[in-house]
């Protein structure tokens, strides 16, 4: 007994010393195990030094990223310059980002172009997630883009569609093709200008100026700013032309919006009760409302107006152009749509009215199919994670930028038969599938907290325009052009327009 105690007393210092020597190794092993869990990152394509995966974007990033996803999976981690970027290309992974972890991924990254053009990103689309975003979104949903407000603009939509139809009629009487791209863009621009700033914009010749500024915005927001990909080299932007160009465009916007607001303020004193109320009127009224939860500054109003001008015009025009192009090369779908529309007795003096659309199930399917194949923004506006989390068992670190490839998701062959074909009847077979953010295989307007609040306004305009275009005209491809030769290639950009103008033959139809 005594000898054993002596032995223990002798061995204890040796045991203690051994434990002290082993402790750092044990701690290192524990840390390594924990680190291995945290470094279970999504698969990544090979990178180049310094630029990472930037070279793999190509001129049409949604197609390039889709091609990469077929090799590396629906959840890929790229390095775009210095920016860690997660690319999402399947409905399941999109659901985890925009539903399961929606709050974590509801933030927007800081983008230099948005900071310059959109009053330091004080708009709704690019503002960072927080209280200001909540108040701006609440304002838009309740006061600007509610179902009641959207319906209140039915007469405006009908009048603008009638103007568009008259333009096409005048051109169709001549032996020439109709430049439908130009007419549709003018229509989209005019209707948004009227809803946002009133009918006086057209009378004062401002619509064309708005159009030029909107086009410049699209170019700048899709442009390459060094700071967006190499924050440590952001100082280089001040020496590049794009930054100066963005600042010039901002000054032009600010001057124009200030003029519009001042005119509304002066006109408010003599406004008639039956005069149509536009977005500027609504925002100026809310600015004076003492019950508002947030003080609505002039810069907030201007930033929101900028959003409405740009997003409203592009969404309507791009989808309309692609939809009419798809119909022109799909005679069976065109004929079926015409049959449905022409069974309706027009209630607006030879025009289809907004109230006539409710029973047109194939029309609604045609619009959905155009949105599926040609989402206005094929890559949804980027998000950024606000904390560490796991997606599909992969570790996603805080401050990871997220790109959701809506174009790829909308064409997922697992969920869509013949995904690249224009087949509106697929939405008759599955009429419950909608674009309102609950069906993650169909997200042309996004989903979750950041879903586009203006989607119902856009769809209402699309349906009315398309119904009247096929009601009043027979549309044909240019003489001698076969359907398979018809150009359906996209132009590069933040939004995806047709590369070539849509030129068609329009023959007025005797109803």
Predicted local confidence at residue 16, as pLDDT: 38
In a domain, 74, yes or no: yes
> What share of the chain has pLDDT > 90, as a percent?
77
Whether 367 maps to a domain, the answer reads yes
pLDDT digits (tens, 9 = 90+) for 109-146: 999 999 999 999 999 999 999 999 999 999 999 999 99
Whether residue 64 lies inside any domain: the answer is yes
Task: Convert the pLDDT of each residue in 305-335 to its tens digit.
Answer: 999 998 899 999 999 999 999 999 999 999 9
**pLDDT, mean of residues 145-166:** 95
Which one has a higher pLDDT value, 346 or 218? 218
Assign 17 a pLDDT band (cuts: 50, 70, 90): very low
Q: Is the pLDDT of residue 6 over 90?
A: no
- Position 26 confidence tier, pLDDT thresholds 50, 70, 90: very low
What average pLDDT does range 35-40 have in this prediction?
Answer: 61
Q: Please give the pLDDT value at position 2.
A: 35
Strand order in the sheet with 383-384: 75-80, 83-88, 401-404, 383-384
Domain, as residue range, for 359: 40-508
Q: What is the mean pLDDT of residues 256-282?
A: 83
Given this model, what pLDDT does residue 233 score? 96
pLDDT per residue over 463-486, tens digit each? 999 999 999 999 999 988 888 888
CA distances from 55 to 49, 59, 353, 407, 481 (A): 11, 10, 49, 20, 36
Counting residues of the chain whose pLDDT is more than 70, the rounded percentage is 89
CATH number of the domain at 150, please: 1.10.630.10
- Rounded to 5 degrees, φ, ψ at 379 are -105, 115
Tokens matching residue 138? 């609440």
How many separate domains does the chain show? 1
Q: Is residue 4 part of a domain?
A: no
pLDDT at 301 over 80: yes
pLDDT band at 33 (very low <50, low <70, confident <90, very high): very low
Interval 407-411 mean pLDDT = 98
Nearest to 335 by CA among 250, 459, 424, 447: 424
Mean pLDDT is lowest, of 78-82, 201-205, 237-241, 403-407, for: 201-205
Say what the pLDDT of residue 21 is.
53
Establish whether 452 is an annotated binding residue. yes
Tell me the pTM.
Answer: 0.89
Report yes or no on 195 lying in a domain: yes
pLDDT tens for each residue of 166-178:
999 999 988 889 9
Instruction: Please give the Cα distance from 249 to 218 (Å, whole number).
Output: 11
Instruction: Give residue 198's pLDDT.
Output: 87
The residues near 293 (Cβ < 8 Å, ≥ 6 apart) are 135, 138
- Is the residue at 485 inside a domain? yes
274 is a domain residue:
yes
In a domain, 177, yes or no: yes
User: Distance between CA 475 and CA 183 in Å, rounded?
Assistant: 14
Per-residue pLDDT averaged across 473-502, rounded? 90
Mean pLDDT in the chain?
89
């Amino acid at each position: 007994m005594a000898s054993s105690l002596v032995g223990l007393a002798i061995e204890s210092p040796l045991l203690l010393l051994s434990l002290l020597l082993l402790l750092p190794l044990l701690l290192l092993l524990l840390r390594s195990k924990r680190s291995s869990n945290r470094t279970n990152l999504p698969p990544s394509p090979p990178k180049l030094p310094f630029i990472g995966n930037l070279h793999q974007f190509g001129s049409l990033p949604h197609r390039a990223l889709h091609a990469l996803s077929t090799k590396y999976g629906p959840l890929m981690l790229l390095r775009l310059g210095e920016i860690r970027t997660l690319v999402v290309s399947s409905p399941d992974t999109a659901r985890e980002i925009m539903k399961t972890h929606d709050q974590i991924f509801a933030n927007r990254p800081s983008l230099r172009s948005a900071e310059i053009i959109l009053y330091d990103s004080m708009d709704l689309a690019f503002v960072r997630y927080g209280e200001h975003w909540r108040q701006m979104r609440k304002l838009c949903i309740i006061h600007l883009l509610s179902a009641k407000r959207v319906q209140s603009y039915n007469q405006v939509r009908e009048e603008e569609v009638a103007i568009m139809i008259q333009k096409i009629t005048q051109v169709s009487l001549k032996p020439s093709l109709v430049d439908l791209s130009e007419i549709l863009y003018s229509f989209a621009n005019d209707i948004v200008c009227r809803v946002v700033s009133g009918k006086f914009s057209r009378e004062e010749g401002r619509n064309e100026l708005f159009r030029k500024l909107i086009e410049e915005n699209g170019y700048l927001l899709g442009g390459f700013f060094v700071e967006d990909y190499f924050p440590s080299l952001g100082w280089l932007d001040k020496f590049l032309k794009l930054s100066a160009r963005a600042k010039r465009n901002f000054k032009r916007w600010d001057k124009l919006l200030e003029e519009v607001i001042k005119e509304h303020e002066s006109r408010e004193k003599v406004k008639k009760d039956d005069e149509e109320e536009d977005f500027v009127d609504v925002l100026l009224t809310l600015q004076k409302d003492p019950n508002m939860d947030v003080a609505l500054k002039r810069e907030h109003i201007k930033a929101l107006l900028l959003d409405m001008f740009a997003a409203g015009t592009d969404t309507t025009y791009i989808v309309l152009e692609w939809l009419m192009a798809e119909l022109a090369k799909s005679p069976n779908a065109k004929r079926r749509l015409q049959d449905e529309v022409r069974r309706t007795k027009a209630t607006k003096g030879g025009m289809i009215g907004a109230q006539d659309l409710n029973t047109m199930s194939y029309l609604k399917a045609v619009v959905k199919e155009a949105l599926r194949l040609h989402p206005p923004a094929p890559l949804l506006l980027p998000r950024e994670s606000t904390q560490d989390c796991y997606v599909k068992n992969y570790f996603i670190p805080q401050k990871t930028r997220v790109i959701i490839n809506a174009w790829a998701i909308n064409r997922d062959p697992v969920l869509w038969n013949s995904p690249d074909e224009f087949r509106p009847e697929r939405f008759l077979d599955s009429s419950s599938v909608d674009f309102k953010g609950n069906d993650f295989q169909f997200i042309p307007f996004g989903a979750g907290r950041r879903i586009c609040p203006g989607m119902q306004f856009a769809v209402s305009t699309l349906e009315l325009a398309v119904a009247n275009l096929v009601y009043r005209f027979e549309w044909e491809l240019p003489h001698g052009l076969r359907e398979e030769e018809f150009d359906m290639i996209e132009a590069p950009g933040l939004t995806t327009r047709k590369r070539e103008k849509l030129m068609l033959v329009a023959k007025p139809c005797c109803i």
